[in-house]
Amino acid sequence: MEQKKPLKENQLARLFLTVATLVTLVTMLVFAITQGTRNEATIAPDNDGIVSDSTQTQLESVRDIGEWEFLTVTDEELVDTTSSRLLASDKQLTRIYYGTLRLGINMDNMPSESVRLIGDTLDVLLPPIRLLDKDFIDETRTKSFHEVGTWDSSVRTALYEKAKRQMLRRCMTESNIQLAQQNAIDEVTLLFNTLGYDHVIVHF
């Protein structure tokens, strides 16, 4: 049987150097892998209720809309008054008033906290529906339907205010307010959908 010759000293030195190099490389590789794994571990922040800078910018552009009309109601009212005279026939005044009442909201009144991002859902709280213009009677269309006698401006002003109250009572009804709210929900939802929010909840 042939016996192996013993390794020479220079061969032993090269073998030792090779083994040491391999051990060093393996150690460095293991360290790099474990260190990289540590660096990759992250904790997702809780963003519920926090509006990002981009959302805040979009909200500012929505505020720039100002008054947003969601329902228009037209009305006409016939209002009259009479006044007795001792030695003459009674005075009579009947006037017809035309009005256009616009129901909506003022986007300027939306504070920042009215828009919240909850998960992937945008929650929007709108201010109450209100009458956008208090001067809704078109005085250029107002006309006297029947007029007997002479009337001063105070009487005409009283008839104007009476017609205004009648229009408010006839038009600012609960059903009209609910209709305006639903229109607002639909339109505001569509607006934020176009801004990139797929899930939007709008309420009052």
Identify the pLDDT of residue 121. 94
Q: Which of 64, 107, 108, 131 is nearest to 202 (CA)?
A: 107
Task: Give me the residues paired with residue 118 across strands.
Answer: 121
126-144 pLDDT, tens per residue? 999 999 999 999 999 998 8
Identify the pLDDT of residue 57. 75
Identify the pLDDT of residue 46. 41
Q: What is the dihedral of CA 137, 102, 176, 194, to 10 degrees?
A: 170
Q: Which of 34, 180, 171, 154 is nearest to 83 (CA)?
A: 154
The DSSP call for residue 197 is: -
46-105 pLDDT, tens per residue? 445 555 666 677 777 777 888 999 999 999 999 999 987 766 678 899 999 999 999 999
Mean pLDDT of the chain: 80
Identify the pLDDT of residue 73. 98
- What DSSP element (H or E) covers 71? strand 67-83
More confident: 88 or 173: 173
Task: Note if the pTM is more than 0.85.
Answer: no
3-class state of residue 20 by DSSP = helix
Distance of CA 50 to the CA centre of its chain: 15
pLDDT of 6 higher than 60: no
Lowest mean pLDDT among 38-42, 72-76, 166-170: 38-42
More confident: 90 or 172: 172
Could you give phi then psi for residue 5, rounded to 5 degrees? Answer: -80, 145
pLDDT of 7 higher than 90: no
